[in-house]
Amino acid sequence: MRRIKTLIFAGLLIVFGNGVSAQTEGISSIKVISKWDGMGTPASDRLTIKQKKGEFYRNGKLIKTELIEAVTRALDVSEEQPSLKDFGITQEWLNLNAEKVLSNRVHSSFENEKALFFNSFRDMKLVEKVFPKVIGGWWADDYPYFEIEITYIKGKKIRVYSQEQTIFMLPWKIVSEDNTYYNSNPNLSLAIANILPEKFINKGRIDGRSLANRLAERVSDEIREEMLYLETRNRLGPELDRIKDRYTLRKTAINLIHSIDVGPPTNSYQTGDYKKWSYSSWNAELTRNDLPSNVMIGLSLPYKQNRLENFDLFLEKIDELVEHVLSVPWLKEQITDSPDVEFEIRFVEDRSLSRKAHERFLEDLGVFGSNAVSEEILNGLDKAVFVQVSEKFPSRWSRWLILPDKKTVLWQIRGESVLKWKPSDFETRNLYDTNDWYQTKAIIDPDGNIVSK
């Protein structure tokens, strides 16, 4: 058995078989079927190429014989594995295409953000690292199918097909009377594309015309955190300078997100004023040098018209919120005794428990009845501190509201335990038809005793 060289692209598997003749003289016809299904309108195409007196005709029109020869030649399996160069990627190609795809990936005018993208896209070592994801990735709601059947005059047939969603539709499965094998060389994809009319279904996928953009996506994914930090520094430099001696920026982004406590409240869609909530925010995770390493501050402040809002308000309020969390005896004990558990203190807009989270909590309480908790508890929500607890081993999390009187409301649980308790210790309801996501209304006193399930 021939020794098979190791693929330079992790995750690609090529199974070698005997070569298929590159001669075209014996070919009688080539039938092509191409389909696409998924979100949108399904589409399909067919064509037939026939040989007449040594010349080939596609739907009655003459097609160059060398294009057919290129397909049959590409069917031959070589010991050499496809390299970046086989895909057309050279340093010159990277240099040329970086400018072309910049606008799709970097939307700011800051030169350091552009430079980061350019340097990364043109970095051959980085490209080699991310390239398996370029040709090995997939996406949902997209179901292509492509098949070529080559029929020879003597009756032999070779079937070449793929259902791969990826660019170039690699690998191709090749089936003949004698053999079945896979071919992951882009030369086959390009040769197939060259015999197709320009608007033929799936041609744009097979010929790799989106390669530069796909590569730009993967490179951008690789440098995402660095790019987000640069963007934050460019836009919020003065604010970052004010907190640099006390806080460390762990994650950062200026974007529009929706989460349990960020984004338009549910009732804003009913009243029609949801658009006033549709703006970007500075969403960040901050650690602080005077807090335990497993205590983090999750921050979401409005960023409107190139201006950060409520930053001074955050600085004014955050110390009191942190002190209040640490003043709850059982919770402080858990923070100290559980270094692998992360405690995130939230601050959104101008408070800890945002308007959206407040509304969502009341909605969840509704499944327990109209008198699920006392008026005293409800009246304390405006000043409650919202804390999310994330446990890594095993992965699970919970959401808590720390009330002004230091009582704690357990709001949601994801997992089969929560700190020192189990879901069965409380009255719960399953969320979203899951088996491990619960909502509850339990109240814990400052010393860690359950006072209401």
Are residues 326 and 417 located together in one domain of the fold?
Answer: yes
In this structure, the answer to whether residues 377 and 245 fall within a common structural domain is yes
Answer whether 49's CB lies under 8 Å from 68's CB. Answer: yes
428 within some domain: yes
Confidence at residue 15, expressed as pLDDT on a 0 to 100 scale: 34
Residues 166 and 258 in one domain: no
Residue 280 CB contacts under 8 Å (≥ 6 apart), including other chains: 254, 255, 256, 302, 303, 304
Alpha-carbon separation of residue 86 from 89, 132, 189, 330 (angstroms): 7, 14, 11, 62
Task: Assess whether 197 and 253 both reside in one domain.
Answer: no
18-32, 127-141, 150-164, 228-242, range with the lowest pLDDT:
18-32
Q: What is the mean pLDDT of the chain?
A: 89
User: Residue 10's pLDDT is what?
Assistant: 34
CB 400 within 8 A of CB 379: no
In this structure, is residue 11 part of a structural domain?
no
The Cα 302–Cα 312 span in angstroms is 12
Q: Which residue bears the tokens 């990936």?
A: 105
Is 9 within a domain?
Answer: no
Statement to judge: residues 70 and 210 lie in one domain: yes
Q: What pLDDT band is residue 78 in, cutting at 50, 70 and 90? A: low
Instruction: Give the pLDDT band (50/70/90) at residue 425.
Output: very high
Residue 12: band (very low, low, confident or very high) from pLDDT cuts 50, 70, 90: very low
Q: Are residues 48 and 161 in the same domain?
A: yes
For residue 229, tell me if it sits in a domain: no
- Is the domain of 379 the same as that of 410? yes
Place 372 in a pLDDT band, splitting at 50, 70 and 90: confident
Q: Is the confidence at residue 246, as pLDDT, over 90?
A: yes
In a domain, 344, yes or no: yes
| Residue 4 in domain | no
Residue 123 sits in the same domain as residue 247:
no
Range of the domain at 305: 239-452
Q: Cα 101 vs. chain centroid, distance in angstroms?
A: 20
pLDDT tens digits along 255-309: 999 999 998 777 666 666 666 667 899 999 999 999 999 999 999 999 999 999 9
Instruction: Count each helix (H run) and each strand (E run) in the chain, helices first.
Output: 13, 19
Q: How many domains does the chain have?
A: 2
Residues 162 and 257 in one domain: no
Burial class (CB in 10 A: 0-12, 13-18, 19+), 34: buried
Looking at 36-50, 271-285, 341-355, 402-416, which range is the least confident one?
Answer: 271-285
Q: How confident is the model at residue 395 (pLDDT cuts 50, 70, 90)?
A: confident
310 and 399 inside one domain: yes
pLDDT tens, position by position, 86-95: 999 999 999 9
**Overall average pLDDT of the 166-190 stretch:** 92
Contact 419, 341 (CB under 8 A): yes
Most confident of 2-11, 21-30, 118-127: 118-127
21 belongs to a structural domain: no
The confidence score (pLDDT) of residue 361 equals: 92
The residue-averaged pLDDT of 23-47 equals 89
- Please tell me the distance from the alpha carbon of residue 363 to that of residue 346, in angstroms, as a whole number: 20
* Residues 182 and 72 grouped into a single domain: yes
pTM, full prediction? 0.81
Same domain? 252 vs 385: yes
Q: CB within 8 A of 422, min separation 6: which ones?
A: 416
Phi and psi torsions of 311, nearest 5°: -65, -45
- Does residue 232 lie in a domain region? no
Last residue of some domain: 187, 221, 255?
221
* Dihedral in degrees, nearest 10, Cα atoms 314, 316, 320, 323: 80
The whole-number pLDDT of residue 3 equals: 38
